[in-house]
Structure 1
């Protein structure tokens, strides 16, 4: 998932230079991916789906790898939009079914604390794909070669998933969970709003960080380190935020993480130079998967009888927010010549999300115990 969902960011500068893509077009391709994420989340929320959760997971990861490879086969905007849309669908299915399958098994084994290992995989994928793209670029690969390298990397890893996630016991594999009724009370409503604003705010830096670096001659020396920093910071982030979630409460920890991420997004403005860019990369990596994990924990706790539907609704709202921001941010950059205004607006959305997470915490205090991560 770290490759299929996020490798577009380090490849975008090479694509934009070779194909003369504008900021708005680059943002539109990113938006297609998150619109697919939205569609996939809605499809994954169906009460009954044929087949096993494991089969859906492996199929989604195979689809992600395949669409990554196919990005090298065209140079038209329409094809890019279609492929990234399908990749987004695959990413949503992978998130929903991997989380439902793995977290359920960990809970049954009494090892829920190991959920941090599950989510750390995204950071590993970002870090490894960053090294792969950087090495391929240094070797003279063009943007097509970068997509091929990333796609092959995904395919090589896929058999390991099949080995490490064994088939479910007979009668467990059918996708039948979610028979309970999904309820949206005041705390869960605030959590949904926070998650939407999270998607709206984080995606600007997550999409255009490397484009911003490539566009500033003074920052090009640190380009190989920036996206790698995002991945390395992401690997331990869920474990750290789970600890803070247990101490502060899931919703207060989520509010804090959103404020920290807002600081990182604001620091990505060109005026802060290399220290600001590296800080932005570290704070983005250190928070965005942690916020996802905290949000998922809250959604499952608020709707234990309809956990998959709650996860899908959260993912859909996240996807909606993430789809709206990139084209607008790209257009703002085309008009202003920089990403400063877009970054400040994104940081504002994250601060608003933190306020919603805090409101969810306050509402929960009045209505019952807060969910634990």
Structure 2
């Protein structure tokens, strides 16, 4: 059967959107709006909550490293759909978990699944839309993260209003992930890919990484650390403030709604000023949002922080991956996986340190300010190759 994927780039990008909505928007980030209900119902202290988040991000790191192995059997689509199924199972499984060990194991496995989905869906979609001469459709693919986050905000708020506890919220989230998997199965075309690590240029995939690409990889890790503390604990920050608690459902919704169209906006910015400069500018804006989330309590500030977080963090992720793919030689999956691993390392450390810091200081102020500094350093690092690269 001939490969017709290039002739139907829109369904392919829509399939990628649903894959990221399932494994990233739901599988990874639904923990944020459910966390306040878990903290009260389990119960969980900040250190335990941060450890559970870090287990997910550790799984993400392991998954990214595993996805970089060049000898994985089977095609990329098979690995993508299998990882989506694992994401649905581990998400629903959180509702049945009976203790800390189960929470840690399930979130770890969910992290592995989300990394595989990101790496393989991005490799499939970016290749196909490029082959079709429609690279702008990458924005549609990456908007799935924001769309999934918005869905989690509405879903969890509606379930909570109906009196559904945290266990039911996890079950419903797993069901939503499964629905996305079924739709993605129909939309992502079957292709004649052979081994997941193969390709016409596979022999070139282990070429040395350039200095600009290495700086981008380090900056991507700092970005992972910088965004994740607010992305994990913003609902808890709001829940613990009597002034902010009434807007708790709207804060996470603001993150998702601002994230969904942000890819298109940042693509346009990158087209005007360059991807590296756009990456750096977005990191500065995100640092401002991270700082605003803790510096001064107030509804306007927390909503602005949510919009700045949502409006930048998916855009930064997409800009980084697209730029890394541009600089890569041979099979792009290796570089995408290394980027994902760097990102995973940064975001694995963030929640754990933030939870410990909150336990010691009684707030998330110091961890959040450290995250803002990391984002500013990432911005500066990316500008170096932007100014010196030929």
TM-score band w.r.t. shorter chain: over 0.9
- Provide, for residues 133-155 of structure 1, a one-character-per-residue CA deviation record: whole Å limited to 9, x for no partner: 00000000111011011111111
Q: Residue 76 of structure 1 corresponds to which residue in structure 2?
A: 99
Match of 2:150 among 127, 130, 155: 127
Q: CA deviation at 1:183?
A: 2.0
Match of 1:97 among 113, 120, 130: 120
Q: Give yes or no for contact 1:182–1:306 (8 Å, CA) kept in 2.
A: no
Q: Give yes or no for contact 1:182–1:309 (8 Å, CA) kept in 2.
A: no
Q: Residue 59 of structure 2 corresponds to which residue in structure 1?
A: 36
Give distance in 2, aligned partners of 1:292 and 1:130.
21
Give distance in 2, aligned partners of 1:121 and 1:320.
23
Q: Residue 274 of structure 2 corresponds to which residue in structure 1?
A: 249
Match of 2:43 among 8, 12, 20: 20
| 2:219 is equivalent to residue 194 of structure 1 | yes
| 2:83 is equivalent to residue 56 of structure 1 | no
| 2:244 is equivalent to residue 219 of structure 1 | yes
Q: Give yes or no for contact 2:207–2:329 (8 Å, CA) kept in 1.
A: no
Q: CA deviation at 1:173?
A: 4.1
Q: Residue 290 of structure 1 corresponds to which residue in structure 2?
A: 315
TM-score under structure 2 length normalisation: 0.91
Q: CA deviation at 1:341?
A: 1.1
- Provide, for residues 109-153 of structure 1, a one-character-per-residue CA deviation record: whole Å limited to 9, x for no partner: 001111100011111111011101000000001110110111111
Give distance in 2, aligned partners of 1:305 and 1:157.
31
Q: CA deviation at 1:18?
A: 1.2
Matches within 5 A, 1:1-373: 1=23, 2-168=25-191, 170=192, 172-175=193-196, 176-177=198-199, 178-180=202-204, 181-269=206-294, 271-364=296-389, 368=390
Q: Give yes or no for contact 1:251–1:361 (8 Å, CA) kept in 2.
A: yes
Q: CA deviation at 1:44?
A: 0.4
TM-score under structure 1 length normalisation: 0.95
Give distance in 2, aligned partners of 1:355 and 1:276.
26
> How many residues are matched?
363
The two structures, once aligned, show a CA RMSD in angstroms of 1.1
3-state SS, counterpart of residue 352 of structure 2:
helix
Give distance in 2, aligned partners of 1:247 and 1:142.
47
Q: Give yes or no for contact 1:262–1:347 (8 Å, CA) kept in 2.
A: yes
Give distance in 2, aligned partners of 1:251 and 1:110.
22
- Provide, for residues 260-285 of structure 1, a one-character-per-residue CA deviation record: whole Å limited to 9, x for no partner: 10000001016241111111111111
Give distance in 1, aligned partners of 2:124 and 2:220.
22
3-state SS, counterpart of residue 360 of structure 1:
helix
- Provide, for residues 237-272 of structure 1, a one-character-per-residue CA deviation record: whole Å limited to 9, x for no partner: 111111111111111110001001000000101624
Give distance in 2, aligned partners of 1:110 and 1:144.
45
Give distance in 2, aligned partners of 1:3 and 1:179.
36
Q: Which of structure 1's runs of 4+ aligned residues deviate more than 6 A?
A: none
Q: Give yes or no for contact 1:69–1:151 (8 Å, CA) kept in 2.
A: yes
Q: CA deviation at 1:185?
A: 2.0
